[in-house]
Amino acid sequence: MKTRYLSLFAFAALAACSTGKDGADAYGNFEATETIVSAESPGKIVMLNVDQGDAVTKGQLIAMTDTSQIYFSIEQLKAQVEATSVKKVNVNAQITVLNEQLKNLQIDQDRVHKLFEDKAATKKNLDLIDGKVREMQKQISSVKTQYQLIDREMEVLDAQLAKTADMKEKCKIISPVEGTVLEKYLEQGEVASAGKPVVKVADLSVLDLKVYVSGDQLPDIKIGQEVEVIIDKTRTENQSLKGTVKWVSPEAEFTPKIIQTKEERVKLVYAVKVSVKNDGRLKIGMPGEIRLMIDD
């Protein structure tokens, strides 16, 4: 009986040591900011040049949807622009002819005015030539208004060209971040709809260890603070890394159900994210612990 009590005492003492200074202050799992790269333009994927596990850079072309119909639309608009430009050439030719006619009328006008001064022409002759000159000037002004119509037509076509070119650019599926392809949802030859995910990308060079601390630990944690991060090395050994506190939740929450026992889960805790540089040992979802570096 005495041996049993001694054993229980030793077990209690060991448990007390494990939760003391050498024990972890918080537990959690590693996570990364994941970015879903989706198609902006619907269509068949005609090019997809990444696989799961590939590293991608920000701005890298990942895939492209079919641009055939957009190409034909652009060519059609270019032809319309060219045809509209020809209209302007025709108007220029008309105005040139009308200006020549006006020039001849003005010569006749000067001649009739001189004859009228010499009383060799009647007032009717004078009014007739003046009327013809005014009519020709109005005709030229009327033809010149076609420039405005052509310019407006060109503006509409330019806007349509810009819109169609933008649609063509949206056929390109480009990575907005640098990272590693975690998931690939479509394959080349499949049809993508607008907004449909193509790949999932995350930066694995730095992972966040999300842990939960109690209210009495909160005063010992500050953003920018260095902490010791512990991960498993073998079944019986751990390895230590350095981490930096990057975020502390401003609100308390109940401990997630996956953490500890039922008694622990009903406690209010604060979520904390610790940024850790990844040399390849860290994986998303891997468990980790932290020890706070508190000066005695």
Q: What is the DSSP annotation of 215-229?
A: TTTGGG--TT-EEEE
Q: What is the pLDDT of residue 166?
A: 96
User: Among candidates 248, 231, 244, 247, which has minimal Cα distance to 275?
Assistant: 244
CB 232 within 8 A of CB 222: no
Q: What is the pLDDT of residue 278?
A: 95
Q: What is the pLDDT of residue 7?
A: 35
Rounded to 5 degrees, φ, ψ at 67 are -115, 15
CB 39 within 8 A of CB 196: yes
Q: What is the pLDDT of residue 263?
A: 58
User: Among candidates 204, 196, 201, 205, which has minimal Cα distance to 177?
Assistant: 201
**β-pair partners for 37:** 199
Q: What is the pLDDT of residue 21?
A: 45
CATH topology of domain 24-66+171-296: OB fold (Dihydrolipoamide Acetyltransferase, E2P) (2.40.50)
Residue 161 is encoded by which pair of tokens? 């060209």
Rounded Cα distance between 274 and 276, Å, is 6
SS3 96: helix
CB 45 within 8 A of CB 192: yes
Rounded Cα distance between 280 and 97, Å, is 79
Q: What is the pLDDT of residue 262?
A: 53
DSSP code, position 194: T
Question: Mind listing the pLDDT tens digit of every residue in the chain (296 residues)?
Answer: 333 333 333 333 333 333 344 578 899 999 999 999 999 999 999 999 999 999 999 999 999 999 999 999 999 999 999 999 999 999 999 999 999 999 999 999 999 999 989 888 899 998 999 999 999 999 999 999 999 999 999 999 999 999 999 999 999 999 999 999 999 999 999 999 999 999 999 999 999 999 999 888 989 999 999 999 999 988 888 999 999 999 999 988 876 655 555 555 557 889 999 999 999 999 999 999 999 975 55
Residue 7 is encoded by which pair of tokens? 């054993």
